[in-house]
Structure 1
Amino acid sequence: MTADMILPRGFRSAGLACGIKENKSTFDLSLFVSDEPCVGAGVFTKNQVCGAPVKVSRERVPGDSVRAVIINSGNANACTGERGIEDARWMTSEVAQGLGFENEEVLVCSTGIIGHFLPRTPIEQGIPAVIGQLGADASSFLNAARGMMTTDTVPKQAMRELTVDGTSVRVSGVAKGAAMIAPNMATMLSVIMTDAPLSASQADALLREAVDFSFNCVSVEGHTSTSDTVILLANGASEADPLSADDLVQLQAAIMEVAMELGQAIIRDAEGADHFITIEVSGASTQAEAKEIARTIANDALVKTAIAGSDPNWGRIVSATGRTSVKLTEADIVLHLNGTLIYEKGMPAEFDEEAVSASIRDNRDVSIQLQLPFGSESIVFWTSDLTQEYVRLNSEYTT
């Protein structure tokens, strides 16, 4: 997944271990830099309890003079009061001073344990070191992806390349996340970069559209965290001409694909999960109603534990559908599990329960397809099952 991942033109990155985490050799600091001023946009958590870095970065985008994003892992700098705000601003000023930028040109993200003050000493030593390791090669990009990780087991990267009027344009992104994952923006961190030319308003619109169909369509356990941030940077270094409407459509598709790949990678890395579940809801009157149903199924603990136990328990899925605000009855629902019809218009279908159970048990990927008769709107949503290992990992997270 990561061997051929490269940055868009004019970007550099780095990642290293500066000593924030208990294991001092584990990467915990990442830096992304553009050689020229960037257009920047951001989408942030809707949790009213949000981290200091969210508050600082949210003040600085959208804008047309963003130069860098500094990210630490192992400490979320959330619920840390005014000191947390000062520490987040201090991080941006340290990076700005080291690179010759203005403080406001640097964005900041933090992820990790909530309620602990940021340890300045290792970060103060780490920032000059990470600046010194900045590179445009694949290994530098991979190191930056590693520096964002907390309980992630693998770094998450994605890239697309497209041609605009004969000019090659790249879109490259990184993300972190494995738990505390729920849609409402996204429960994770991500930086997406492109060398396409965009205005601040274009970048903001493209990012929000991409987030809505990617990170807003993933969930592990329904918890929207304090630190969620997705940043889009566009520096125009490809020297492509200003984008036409058709060009913007192409770029939107590429950004969407990168965001979807990263969002799905988060679910595949969900803590303790055994199954990657794709939920497709079709035939809804509105996309909002389709998403509400998909989200409710995805977050339902009984649905998730049924999948963990390889149980084709259609009753839990149908019941979850009925507890949404969407007006429907059991007769409006047609349900397939791993391609097998198991419920149809108010009645269970005849199917081989042992075969469907085996299809769940023997495959990591599980498909839930729910069809309604109301319209043509649909959504695809991704989640994981809920296992004993997930409970164990999260019960031991801070102890």
Structure 2
Amino acid sequence: MFKVIPGYINKPVGFKAAGMFSGIKKAKKDLAMVYTSYPAEVACVFTTNVVKAAPVLWNKNVYESGEKVSAIVVNSGNANACTGLQGIADNETMATKTAALLDCKPSGVLVASTGVIGVPMPMTVIEKGIDQIVPKLKEDDASGLEAAEAIMTTDTFTKTICVQFEIEGKTVTISGMSKGSGMIHPNMATMLSFVTTDAVISKAVLSQMLKEINEDTYNMISVDGDTSTNDMVLVLANGAVGHTPIATGTPAYDAFKEAFYYVHETLAKQIVKDGEGANKLIEVAVEGANNTIEAKQIVKSVLTSNLVKTALFGEDANWGRVLCAAGYSGAAFDPMKVDLWFSSEQGKIQLLAKGEPIVFSEDKAAEILSADEIKIALALQEGEGSAVGWGCDLSYEYVKINGEYRS
């Protein structure tokens, strides 16, 4: 069993981190770096958008090469997306510059960028920043926090998590940090997620585990229905703890996967909780669907419905919008079998029973929907399929933030 502990991306053995203001943005931190003195196995998942930013293309090549990785360099304020051949060259320069200072191969450096699309990278500023950030790499919490701050764009808070558990009597740590607030949609979003661990695990086992977990975490969140060009999850496992390599079908595998899932689910939920202009975190749970695929279809359809999102922003128990969104999801079910509930820390209320509307207290419903975190549950009575996903409401502030994004 794992435990949540204080700590940042540099908490696992052998990792260091730093974050700083380099001048890409007007004032806030905009450059981060993570380094491991023990070259790490890497697992990655990337955006499904056909338009992929230069860092995504670079990291895919690094991953497919099988090289171990020593560092991740991240900038915020500029996405280096839709920047043509110059953007690809600039990304390579970031990796090469970092590698030279850390005495590793450029193919041992992963790169991530987030910010405005279609603007050339300010490479003079970035190169100078890389020179300055390498000496700042440290193991302390302050440096880890600064790294988490430096990857933010429209985020309103840092997104971090750290857990520990034991394998063969040795303490294993998994830490993560992410950013994301807008352009968040199932099949990943304008989100970056970085996870480090000192566990001993092969690339093959780690990659398969990440792929499975990604389907139930980052691919089950939505803020606004836009899938970005820069999305990625990067996981580094440096093996510094030195236990027997984790193998499938073992207690160590089960212990690692439980903690690993918790880290990614926590980061995914933090992203939607910080959705641009959001006031409420929304969880949608479906059970009794024909299969898992159809359960996920319904969850995503409800989460991405603007009518559902605006009703929850207005704290209006307009449950018909939920059933409507489920109905156009493409999943097959009989509306006359459906049960539906709203709940929060303020209580729980059933709105539909076997397809029949239930008379409910509007005051009690408003009280439930006044909470910061709201759960919507649907039971379909069709089969064994179930799924859970997370999103947020849609507020006036979302339009304001995105209308002024480049200003």
What TM-score bracket applies, with the shorter chain setting the length? over 0.9
TM-score, normalised relative to structure 2: 0.95
Aligned to 2:354: 345
Cα distance in 2 for partners of 1:271, 1:159 equals: 25
Give the Å deviation of 1:358. Answer: 2.3
Aligned to 1:131: 134
Cα distance in 2 for partners of 1:352, 1:145 equals: 44
Aligned to 1:383: 391
Cα distance in 2 for partners of 1:271, 1:187 equals: 12
Q: Does 1:354 align with 2:356?
A: no
Give the Å deviation of 1:185. Answer: 3.3
- Give 5+ residue unaligned stretches, structure 2: none
Q: Does 1:322 align with 2:327?
A: yes
Secondary structure at the aligned position of 2:62 is classed as coil
Q: Does 1:177 align with 2:180?
A: yes
Cα distance in 1 for partners of 2:342, 2:392 equals: 15
Aligned to 2:17: 13
Give the Å deviation of 1:186. Answer: 4.2
Cα distance in 1 for partners of 2:159, 2:62 equals: 26
Cα distance in 1 for partners of 2:54, 2:366 equals: 46
Runs of 4+ residues over 3 Å off in structure 1: 1-6
Give the Å deviation of 1:246. Answer: 1.8
Cα distance in 2 for partners of 1:290, 1:274 equals: 26
Aligned to 2:87: 84
Does the 8 Å CA contact 1:64/1:200 hold for their aligned counterparts?
no
Give the Å deviation of 1:64. Answer: 4.6
CA RMSD of aligned residues (A): 1.4
- Are residues 275 and 116 of structure 1, via their aligned partners in 2, closer, same or farther at CA, if it must alter by over 3 Å? same
Does the 8 Å CA contact 2:220/2:300 hold for their aligned counterparts?
yes
Give the Å deviation of 1:22. Answer: 2.4
Could you report, residue by residue, the CA deviation over 1:148-194 in whole angstroms, capped at 9, with x for unpaired residues? 00011111110110100111100001100111111103430011011
Aligned to 2:256: 251
Aligned to 2:118: 115
Secondary structure at the aligned position of 2:363 is classed as helix
Give the Å deviation of 1:344. Answer: 2.1
Q: How does 1:136-175 map to 2 (within 5 A)?
A: 136-175=139-178
Q: Does 1:224 align with 2:227?
A: yes
Give the Å deviation of 1:84. Answer: 0.8
Question: Mean Cα displacement is larger for which, 210-219 or 69-78?
Answer: 210-219
Aligned to 2:47: 45
Cα distance in 1 for partners of 2:265, 2:54 equals: 27
Does the 8 Å CA contact 1:308/1:387 hold for their aligned counterparts?
yes
Secondary structure at the aligned position of 2:63 is classed as coil
Does the 8 Å CA contact 2:342/2:368 hold for their aligned counterparts?
no
Q: How does 1:188-203 map to 2 (within 5 A)?
A: 188-203=191-206
Question: Mean Cα displacement is larger for which, 207-216 or 187-196?
Answer: 207-216
Give the Å deviation of 1:3. Answer: 5.3
**Counterpart selection for 2:380 from 348, 365, 372:** 372
Secondary structure at the aligned position of 1:59 is classed as helix
Q: Does 1:215 align with 2:218?
A: yes
Secondary structure at the aligned position of 1:367 is classed as strand
- Give 5+ residue unaligned stretches, structure 1: none
Cα distance in 1 for partners of 2:45, 2:243 equals: 26
Aligned to 2:57: 55
Look up the equivalent residue of 1:276 and give its one-letter code.
L
Cα distance in 1 for partners of 2:331, 2:156 equals: 37
Cα distance in 1 for partners of 2:52, 2:382 equals: 38
Does the 8 Å CA contact 2:290/2:332 hold for their aligned counterparts?
no
Does the 8 Å CA contact 1:37/1:64 hold for their aligned counterparts?
no
Give the Å deviation of 1:2. Answer: 9.2
Give the Å deviation of 1:284. Answer: 1.4
Cα distance in 2 for partners of 1:323, 1:329 equals: 13
Secondary structure at the aligned position of 1:61 is classed as helix
Aligned to 2:36: 34
Aligned to 1:99: 102
Does the 8 Å CA contact 2:32/2:73 hold for their aligned counterparts?
yes
Cα distance in 1 for partners of 2:87, 2:5 equals: 34
Aligned length: 396
Look up the equivalent residue of 2:264 and give its one-letter code.
A
Look up the equivalent residue of 1:29 and give its one-letter code.
L
